[in-house]
Structure 1
Amino acid sequence: MQFGYSETCLAHDPGSRHPESPDRLRAIRERLKKKHGVEYVEADPCDLETLASVHDREYLESVREFCVQGGGSWDPDTAAVTETWDAARHSAGLACWAAEESLEGASGRETPFSIGRPPGHHAVFDDAMGFCFVNNVAVAAQYALDHDAYDVDRVAIVDWDVHHGNGTQDLFYDRGDVFFTSIHEKGLYPGTGAVDETGEDDGEETTMNVPMQAGAGDYEYLAAIDGPIAAAITDFDPDLLLISAGFDAHRHDPISRIRLSTEAYALMSDRMRTLANETDAALAFVLEGGYGLDVLADSVALVHETFDGREPIEPDDKSGEGEKPTFDDVLDAHDLDVELDER
């Protein structure tokens, strides 16, 4: 894979006790040293105009001024330093690079993965939250839609971070040109992402949330992806498929109660590649969360290996009878009372 990366993203340091640490990127880079075919690309930072395509300009200017004055706690979870504004611009620029690269034909071993930080999927139109100042994946989606040269009419975003991507959902909730789906832990921060949040106005039925109960694992996630998520994306027929790739649903992540294995990220990546191929969509990945440094690094490395030729290993049948769970089984097990696969 090609990895979008900038040293500037390391300068955003919210403090030694904060889980969203520069060590996240250092751990990924260290792990990828052992892998074949890794390429790093630095992209230009986004300018204010590009960021303002999805965010309120006054909000962006207030973040810039907040950082110029030395930063501090924006809210109880979200902290900034002087360098945070530049890091956020670079993180968004790397996400745009990933979208652009994929639309220009990069695929297979050249599939782009932006590993910028701070992450973005909680940032809403006019506010920062949940460690996020700029919604990187949303900026990248809008960037693709705004550039006529790429001939992009529809973008799909799959968010598999353990937290609901509330910011991304809000930004496109009434839009028909962006399909957003999030699979996340039910009831976890920020408390949004219910199954009945499906979009409104022109965006009706372009949002799909799959909240999982704590304890869900590989079987449940793969059933959801193979069932309603794949069906919805196929029906939407996007030109670009962006993955909000958080790795905090791993069973060893310190702030998650979802039980994904490292192998699950290879399997989900393979499903996304298949979906992109079947819909003739460009495919790009954008880093979100993941706070256990070892499992974050291992999971990103396994995503890379999947695009470098490694065949993902399907989980053994849970029942021992050779049958995979259907999404109906998942609905029953996780108290989901909306039949998403019939939407």
Structure 2
Amino acid sequence: MKFGYSEVCLAHDTGKRHPENPDRLRAIRKALTRKHGVEYVEADSATESEVTAVHDAGYVDEFREFCASGGGNWDPDTVAVEETWDAALESAGLACWAADAALAGEDGRQTPFSLGRPPGHHAVADDAMGFCFFNNAAVAAQLVIDAGDAERVAILDWDVHHGNGTQDIFYDDEDVFYASIHEDGLYPGTGEIDESGMGDGRGATLNAPLPAGSGDPEYRTVFDELVAPAFAAFDPDLVLVSAGFDAHRHDPISRMRVSTDGYGMLTARVRETADEAGAAPAFVLEGGYGLDTLSDGVAMVHEVFDGMEPVVSEEEANEDVLELVSGVRDSHPLLDSA
């Protein structure tokens, strides 16, 4: 794969005790040194006009001034220093590079993966939260649509937390389909089944809040029964993955049971679904707070695109998840009309 990376993102210093810290990127780089076919690409930072396509200008100004004054705690979890402004623009720019590269034909072993931080999927239009300042995937999706490079973008968010920011930004937008597989009841407490979009965006949001303890069989079932048919019906030009690795069974801040091979399975299914839709796939880093599990997960995504066939669990999903899948399939506007 091609990985977008910049040392600028290391300067966003949240402190050694904060789970979202520069060691996350260092661990990923270290793990990838042991893999074949890894290429790194630097990208231009996002411009303020690109960021304000999805964020309120007043919020962007406030965030810039906050960093210029030395930063601090934006909220109890979301920390900034002076350098965070540049890191956030760089992280958004890397996501834009990934989307642009995918649509330009970079696929197969050249598939782009943006390794930016701070992450983005909790950032709403007018506020930072959950370690996130700019919504990287949203900035990238809106950029390619505004440029006329894509008519429709599908975003799959497999981070263990619901991407409330991405959902909110596109909730009434018919051009972006947002699908999230996340742990039910976890921060930020959004992402219920009945949150499926409104207005022009009715049916363009799909949430699968899974019970704690869900693992590979449950994620496989949700993807096969909900995400894949929804994406097929939506017919996107670009599939962006908000790729968090904190649903891993050994991640320190979740209760899910996804294995490293499970992330390989999801990656293979994303690739197949994108191919069937004639869409370009690209990946944008979100969460993941166990350094070993995070780096192994990113390396697994790379290995799948490098030709590895992931191990797929043959276990059946538990009854609670089968019931959830049936409920979503029967009630979701896009799936119900498919």
Q: TM-score, normalised by structure 2?
A: 0.96
Which residue matches 1:9? Answer: 9
Name the CA distance, whole Å, in 2 between partners of 1:228 and 1:46. Answer: 33
Name the CA distance, whole Å, in 1 between partners of 2:102 and 2:92. Answer: 16
**Aligned 1:157-168 pairs, distance under 5 A:** 157-168=155-166
Name the CA distance, whole Å, in 2 between partners of 1:173 and 1:204. Answer: 8
Q: CA RMSD in A?
A: 1.4
Which residue matches 2:126? Answer: 126
User: What are the Cα deviations for residues 182-202 of structure 1, in whole angstroms up to 9, with x where unaligned?
Assistant: 000000000000000000000
**Aligned 1:163-312 pairs, distance under 5 A:** 163-312=161-310
- The 1:257/1:335 distance shift into structure 2, 3 A limit, reads farther
Name the CA distance, whole Å, in 1 between partners of 2:127 and 2:287. Answer: 18
Identity of aligned residues (%): 62
- For structure 1, which runs of at least 5 residues remain unmatched after alignment? 319-323
Which residue matches 1:137? Answer: 137
Name the CA distance, whole Å, in 2 between partners of 1:297 and 1:200. Answer: 37
Name the CA distance, whole Å, in 1 between partners of 2:75 and 2:317. Answer: 41
Name the CA distance, whole Å, in 1 between partners of 2:106 and 2:77. Answer: 36
Contact map agreement 2:96 2:139 (CA 8 A) in 1: yes
Cα distance, 1:181 vs structure 2: 0.3
Name the CA distance, whole Å, in 2 between partners of 1:336 and 1:128. Answer: 35
Cα distance, 1:314 vs structure 2: 1.2
- 1:196 is paired with a residue whose SS is coil
Structure 1 residue 47 corresponds to structure 2 residue 38? no
**Aligned 1:308-319 pairs, distance under 5 A:** 308-315=306-313, 317-318=314-315
Name the CA distance, whole Å, in 2 between partners of 1:307 and 1:229. Answer: 20
Structure 1 residue 106 corresponds to structure 2 residue 106? yes
Name the CA distance, whole Å, in 2 between partners of 1:335 and 1:271. Answer: 17
Cα distance, 1:313 vs structure 2: 1.1
- 1:242 is paired with a residue whose SS is strand
Cα distance, 1:85 vs structure 2: 0.4
Cα distance, 1:330 vs structure 2: 2.2
- 1:190 is paired with a residue whose SS is coil
Name the CA distance, whole Å, in 1 between partners of 2:113 and 2:42. Answer: 12
Q: Which amino acid aligns with 2:49?
A: E
- The 1:35/1:338 distance shift into structure 2, 3 A limit, reads closer
Name the CA distance, whole Å, in 2 between partners of 1:261 and 1:288. Answer: 17
Name the CA distance, whole Å, in 1 between partners of 2:265 and 2:322. Answer: 21
Q: Which amino acid aligns with 1:217?
A: G
Cα distance, 1:338 vs structure 2: 3.9
Which residue matches 1:321? Answer: none
Cα distance, 1:331 vs structure 2: 3.0
- For structure 2, which runs of at least 5 residues remain unmatched after alignment? none
Cα distance, 1:257 vs structure 2: 0.4
Q: Which amino acid aligns with 2:236?
A: P
Q: TM-score, normalised by structure 1?
A: 0.95
Aligned length: 333
Name the CA distance, whole Å, in 1 between partners of 2:218 and 2:322. Answer: 9
- 1:305 is paired with a residue whose SS is helix
Name the CA distance, whole Å, in 2 between partners of 1:175 and 1:268. Answer: 26
Which residue matches 1:330? Answer: 321
